[in-house]
Amino acid sequence: MLKRSFEHVRQPIKMAPHLNNVGTTKERILSAAEVLFARRGFDGASLRQLTAAAGVNLAAVNYHFGSKDKLIEQVFRRRLDALNARRLDALSKVIGTDNTTLEDVLDAYIRPALELSHDDNGALFMRVLARAFAEHDDTLRHFLSENYGHVMRQFTAEFARLLPQLSKPELYWRIDLVTGALTHAMSGFGMIQRKSGVSESVHREQTAQHLIRFAVAGLSHP
């Protein structure tokens, strides 16, 4: 079990006013939790803040999730289940053929993630994901590995097939660095920001193309 609780926080956090109008009670709780975890971290979020932001009472949180641990898991599942389904679907269309290129596999890995990060709440969720690793939460890392590790293993197997010259440790290093670059691009905190007059879709496409070229060079370097 994760050793955490909803602590009392003296300073109230202002939430987006639309949260109380978002879908079902369960969706409102998840949306409010996503905001709180992004801003305060997992241990810094209070139950009082959550229930106030979602417009629900404690009984509703307990009914839908049972515990804070389960709530945290559902915050991740809500985004990552869809993301990894799209990744695997894209990978299935290019995997294992003589015509498969490194660009094809990277496109399947990178593009769905950028699409997530550029939707209305994707950047917010990326801050939640970053919290999981920045706070060195081993139990949460284990949850993510257990539930989504198979996705990375499938991509790694295809990278290994296309890059037979790389040892396993070297391949893992390079994939980890590519993933770091992708996470940075998804966060939106880099030097390259969308310019005025450039649509979100065009900016996302530019980001994907630059990142894929960068990743190809890094993965295939002798």
CA 86, 158, 131, 48 dihedral sign is positive
State which residues form the domain around 152.
75-220
**Bigger pLDDT: 218 or 39?**
218
The rounded distance, in Å, linking the Cα atoms of 87 and 79 is 13
Structurally, the chain folds into a number of domains equal to: 2
Residue 107 — very low, low, confident or very high, per pLDDT cuts 50/70/90?
very high
Residue 96 — very low, low, confident or very high, per pLDDT cuts 50/70/90?
confident
Q: What is the mean pLDDT of residues 59-74?
A: 90
Residue 131 — very low, low, confident or very high, per pLDDT cuts 50/70/90?
confident
Q: CB–CB of 206/111 below 8 Å? A: no
Q: What is the mean pLDDT of residues 67-80?
A: 89
Residue 120 sits in a domain whose CATH number is 1.10.357.10
Has residue 26 been placed in a domain? yes
Has residue 90 been placed in a domain? yes
Q: Are residues 81 and 46 in the same domain?
A: no
Give the pair of three-digit tokens for residue 50: 């959550």
What confidence score (pLDDT) does residue 6 get?
44
Q: Quick check: helix, strand or coil at residue 52?
A: helix
Q: Are residues 60 and 152 in the same domain?
A: no
- Percent of residues, the chain, with pLDDT higher than 90: 43
Buried b / exposed e over 64-88, threshold 16 CB at 10 Å, is bbeebbebbbebbebbbeebbebbb
